[in-house]
Chain A
């Protein structure tokens, strides 16, 4: 198809006609890809909107936690006729689907309160921040709830790779490292083929094809060498780029030698962008992940009681009783329902009195929570765009900040601009989390200035979230190992009497909202089957 009538305004074509048209003109592969945006083919276990037919038999469900898992359960179960109530600790809905923008305050454990000073329109997402194409469940709910999406730049070829132990600490453009790595590997492999070193692995005919593919993949010259040439410059960048008029003639650049490329270690960063969840197209909600929370709030907000801290969960033969405290008045209250779906992070749930069988009790205690810190920094101007032509995407570094992510919105605005100045995991997260918010921000500025010297002149303010100081998660997300999966995962997901668990921690997509959604849909389907069976 050379034109795309299905996207033209006012052009109506039903789904079957469209798929038939694509199938005729482009083959089955194109048809499969075309099905994805229509919610028929997805890479996660999401297979389309859930259907809970047959009625709710007058049953009630108490949902604990108004994050995405809890709100999906509330939305779908209330539609199916169940009486649903949701208890949420925070004074807002959304959980880790959370955006911090100017004027917002955040009080972490230990009491430090930060008030975000960002200019209007600027924000950071302290938790999840991108929506891969294959996360069909989340894309479905965004579409259904009116949450607008825009592209998230994951891999920007003009962003940097940086290492304090390579190139004297000078950042390198991603495209340069990738081009030189691919180019040298191609040249070496071509040499091996031409020296008949691979005769056991490829036929003579295939060797010819392989050589041609290597020339294409590595930007090799006619002699199968990766050298200074127009071909390599088109990948790695020119010494002087092409233009028009008398100054038009481009000058190719000199590739790095292979030893430099290998010893830099920067090839490690190529793989990051190749995983399914980091492949383009990736999206973000316009205005931040908090818009997902707002979308669900519009749909199920009337079912949610905020400021409610769960203190005990007790099930018996006829239902589940949940004791909770109003965090504003400290009033002790309780709620009761036929069933309870608990989306409270395991780090917190493990501390709440709960009567379940030993296998589930052990599973709840078996999942440590990942340390992570994100720091948002606001600058007077978008120097990364104005000075360095970096529009969105991610710079990777071996500095403790790990990466700098440039905003995938507001391109070209004069400023102020906000970037993600640190996103850490592992050991450094504990150290940063243990410091004051002001110290974290100052250190992120000091480190980042090694990559962008403009930091010094342009910095305005910053905000930080150390996830182990987040009062309602005690960590970023659940960390499973193969061993703990084998021992505990199924026990965690099984319904225990009238109590069941949902959330990213009960999924194989940990730390992503899609894990929370598919976990929630899986458990409410099983609950509904049980209710139907009587």
Chain B
């Protein structure tokens, strides 16, 4: 990670996302609130089970970033994670997974520290990325 740009990006993300963290969890688990929607509450599982980073990627990230991590473009876009220099440092992608970004929901309530660490480490060492310095679950806990 080169020092200046990613830190600046991190600060900008922090600013933009203040207040957004609780949104995903609240709306997913309490759709009958005044913030209700045309969606019934579900008794189905609200957490992801998957023992490896590859499983978490397939069961969560691939929905938007695509199975090949190439992202997609429509009226809006999902950035490609493949060959992405922004993954040079581990904290930036970890922060995005924990807190969300713009329309991307935060994953903090759905994934535990180990799963987030695993998936960040998986993405940083696959899809044409080969970045050293895996992140630990302890470091993920500190981002929550």
Q: Chain A interface (Cβ within 8 Å of chain B)?
A: 89, 109-111, 127-130, 163, 265, 268-269, 271-272, 275, 277-278, 309-310, 344-348, 350-352, 362, 365-372, 394, 396-403, 423-431, 433-434, 466, 468-477, 479-488, 508-512
Alpha-carbon gap, A272 to B38, bound state (A): 12
Alpha-carbon gap, A482 to B44, bound state (A): 24
Asked if A425 meets B36 with Cβ closer than 8 Å, knowing A89-B75, A484-B19, the reply is no
- Flag whether B8 is at the interface (Cβ < 8 A): no
Is A366's CB under 8 angstroms from B19's CB? yes
Is A428's CB under 8 angstroms from B60's CB? no
- Flag whether B133 is at the interface (Cβ < 8 A): no
Closest chain B residue, CB of each to CB of A275: B32
What is the distance, in angstroms, from A477's C-beta to the closest C-beta of chain B? 6
Alpha-carbon gap, A310 to B26, bound state (A): 31
Is B103's CB under 8 angstroms from A271's CB? no
- Contact partners of B104 in chain A: CB under 8 A: 368-369
- Contact partners of A109 in chain B: CB under 8 A: 64, 66, 72-74, 78
Alpha-carbon gap, A321 to B121, bound state (A): 43
Taking residues whose C-beta sits less than 8 angstroms from the other chain, chain B's interface range is 35 or more
- Flag whether B16 is at the interface (Cβ < 8 A): yes
Asked if A431 meets B60 with Cβ closer than 8 Å, knowing A362-B16, A512-B37, the reply is yes
Q: In this complex, which of B24, B25, B76 has the most chain A Cβ atoms within 10 angstroms of its Cβ?
A: B76
What is the distance, in angstroms, from A67's C-beta to the closest C-beta of chain B? 12
Is B23's CB under 8 angstroms from A367's CB? yes
Is A431's CB under 8 angstroms from B59's CB? yes
- Partner of A425 from the list B28, B61, B103 (CB cut-off 8 Å) is B28
Asked if A371 meets B43 with Cβ closer than 8 Å, knowing A129-B38, A474-B64, the reply is no
What is the distance, in angstroms, from A140's C-beta to the closest C-beta of chain B? 18
What is the distance, in angstroms, from B89's C-beta to the closest C-beta of chain A? 22
What is the distance, in angstroms, from B125's C-beta to the closest C-beta of chain A? 20
Asked if A362 meets B45 with Cβ closer than 8 Å, knowing A370-B37, A511-B38, the reply is no
- Contact partners of B23 in chain A: CB under 8 A: 366-368, 479-481, 483-484
What is the distance, in angstroms, from B71's C-beta to the closest C-beta of chain A? 9
What is the distance, in angstroms, from B17's C-beta to the closest C-beta of chain A? 7
Is A348's CB under 8 angstroms from B76's CB? yes
- Partner of B39 from the list A351, A423, A427 (CB cut-off 8 Å) is A423
Tell me the interface secondary structure of chain B in the complex. loop
11 pairs, A vs B, C-beta closer than 8 Å? A89-B74, A89-B75, A109-B78, A370-B105, A397-B43, A401-B44, A402-B40, A425-B31, A468-B64, A511-B39, A512-B38
Alpha-carbon gap, A403 to B40, bound state (A): 9
Is B100's CB under 8 angstroms from A368's CB? yes
- Flag whether B48 is at the interface (Cβ < 8 A): yes
- Contact partners of B110 in chain A: CB under 8 A: 426-427
- Contact partners of A278 in chain B: CB under 8 A: 40
What is the distance, in angstroms, from B82's C-beta to the closest C-beta of chain A? 14
Is A277's CB under 8 angstroms from B105's CB? no
Alpha-carbon gap, A335 to B8, bound state (A): 34
Is A400's CB under 8 angstroms from B74's CB? no
Asked if A400 meets B26 with Cβ closer than 8 Å, knowing A508-B35, A511-B39, the reply is no
Closest chain B residue, CB of each to CB of A361: B16
Alpha-carbon gap, A269 to B42, bound state (A): 9
Is A369's CB under 8 angstroms from B76's CB? no
Is A427's CB under 8 angstroms from B48's CB? yes
- Contact partners of B15 in chain A: CB under 8 A: 362
Alpha-carbon gap, A479 to B62, bound state (A): 21
- Contact partners of B60 in chain A: CB under 8 A: 427, 430-431, 434
Closest chain B residue, CB of each to CB of A436: B67
- Partner of A509 from the list B21, B29, B36, B59 (CB cut-off 8 Å) is B36
Is A350's CB under 8 angstroms from B102's CB? yes
What are the 8 tightest A-B residue pairs by CB atom distance, in nearest-first order?
A: A471-B74, A347-B103, A511-B37, A479-B27, A348-B76, A433-B63, A434-B62, A109-B72
What is the distance, in angstroms, from A70's C-beta to the closest C-beta of chain B? 13
Against A, the Cβ 8 Å flags (1 = close, 0 = not) of B78-96 are 1000000000000000000
